């Protein structure tokens, strides 16, 4: 019997979901897509994501895969999935047949996250539930200097959630880029092979306090040097975080 391994690239607004992963209570992105797939293929299957996104976190390019012995027509299933999922705030951007050994999580070489801040006095309209609204003017140059400190291989224990199940807190942060756009928009991108739970949001929380000049660079380095959660800033809200893309 021939086995097919299909990869999906998924976009979603995470506001009304408990996160990517199926949980005992609440509606998940994984659960909603899996239900439609099972209805279409008429067989039990499991959808595997490249990683979790927490409640309220969005995705521009989440990657997931499922294995089936049912050969499918990509265009037909793409239209079917999007027909049933569009009201949920989920879009399937593409579906591709991959090699048998492809795994959306374990085959990933690089993950890119984007965090969006709107730094202005005026309240959010278009970006409501899609960005972090910060009224106090941020010192961009100071934030960039702080970002350089976080780059590289470190023990990120201070930035991980207490519920993080990763075996090691060591991660290599390849790059952090901070760009200012129009109307007070600030884009912060983070690139690494993998991240700890709440690591990105915790780092953004620290960069925000640095940008507001509530912390100096010495205080900013304290969580990294001491490896204790108590020295870290509160995590930034999930509304500004996007899983941008996954590279294989």
pLDDT in tens, 193-236: 999 999 999 999 999 999 999 999 999 999 999 999 999 999 99
In a domain, 38, yes or no: yes
Considering the domain architecture, whether residues 64 and 152 belong to the same structural domain is answered as no
Q: Is 54 a known active-site residue?
A: yes
Give the domain-ending residue among 42, 70, 98.
98
SS3 196: coil
CATH number reported for the structural domain that contains residue 144 in this entry: 3.30.70.660
Residue 83: partners with Cβ closer than 8 Å, 6 or more residues away: none
Considering the domain architecture, whether residues 11 and 56 belong to the same structural domain is answered as yes
- Model confidence pLDDT, tens digit, residues 116-162: 999 999 999 999 999 999 999 999 999 999 999 999 999 999 999 99
Average pLDDT score, the chain: 96
Name the pTM for this structure. 0.95
Q: Is the pLDDT at 1 greater than 80, yes or no?
A: no
Considering the domain architecture, whether residues 169 and 87 belong to the same structural domain is answered as no
* Count of the separate structural domains present in the chain: 2
Give the domain-ending residue among 63, 98, 133.
98
In a domain, 70, yes or no: yes
Nearest to 28 by CA among 85, 81, 83: 85
CA dist 4 → 68, 72, 106, 122 (Å): 5, 9, 18, 51
Integer Cα distance of 164 and 167 in angstroms = 9
Give the domain-ending residue among 47, 72, 98.
98
Domain containing 215 equals: 110-247
Considering the domain architecture, whether residues 189 and 141 belong to the same structural domain is answered as yes
Q: Is the pLDDT at 192 greater than 80, yes or no?
A: yes
Check residue 43 and give its pLDDT.
Answer: 83
Considering the domain architecture, whether residues 74 and 94 belong to the same structural domain is answered as yes
- Model confidence pLDDT, tens digit, residues 62-81: 999 999 988 888 788 899 99
Considering the domain architecture, whether residues 114 and 218 belong to the same structural domain is answered as yes
Considering the domain architecture, whether residues 119 and 90 belong to the same structural domain is answered as no
Considering the domain architecture, whether residues 237 and 130 belong to the same structural domain is answered as yes
Helix (H) or strand (E) holding 61: strand 58-68
Integer Cα distance of 209 and 121 in angstroms = 17
Among 54, 101, 187, 216, which one carries the catalytic annotation? Answer: 54
In a domain, 36, yes or no: yes
């Amino acid at each position: 019997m021939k086995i097919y391994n299909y990869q999906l690239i998924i976009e979603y607004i995470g506001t009304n979901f408990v996160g990517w992963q199926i949980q005992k209570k609440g509606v998940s992105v994984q659960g909603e897509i899996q239900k439609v797939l099972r209805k279409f293929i008429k067989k039990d299957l499991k959808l595997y994501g490249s990683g979790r996104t927490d409640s309220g976190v969005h995705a521009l390019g989440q990657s997931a895969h499922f294995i089936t012995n049912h050969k499918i027509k990509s265009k037909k299933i793409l239209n079917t999935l999007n027909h049933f999922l569009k009201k949920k705030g989920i879009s399937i951007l593409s579906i591709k047949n991959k090699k048998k050994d492809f795994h959306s999580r374990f085959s990933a070489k690089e993950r890119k996250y984007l965090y969006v801040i709107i730094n202005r006095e005026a309240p959010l309209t278009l970006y409501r539930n899609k960005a972090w609204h910060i009224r106090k003017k941020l010192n961009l140059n100071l934030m960039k200097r702080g970002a350089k400190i976080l780059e590289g291989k470190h023990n990120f224990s201070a930035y991980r959630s207490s519920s993080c199940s990763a075996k090691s807190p060591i991660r290599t942060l390849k790059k952090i880029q901070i760009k200012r756009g129009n109307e007070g928009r600030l884009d912060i991108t983070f690139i690494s092979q993998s991240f700890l739970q709440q690591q990105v949001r915790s780092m953004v929380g620290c960069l925000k306090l640095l940008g507001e000049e509530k912390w100096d660079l010495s205080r900013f380095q304290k969580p990294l040097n001491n490896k204790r959660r108590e020295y870290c800033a509160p995590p930034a809200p999930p509304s500004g975080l996007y899983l941008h893309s996954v590279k294989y």
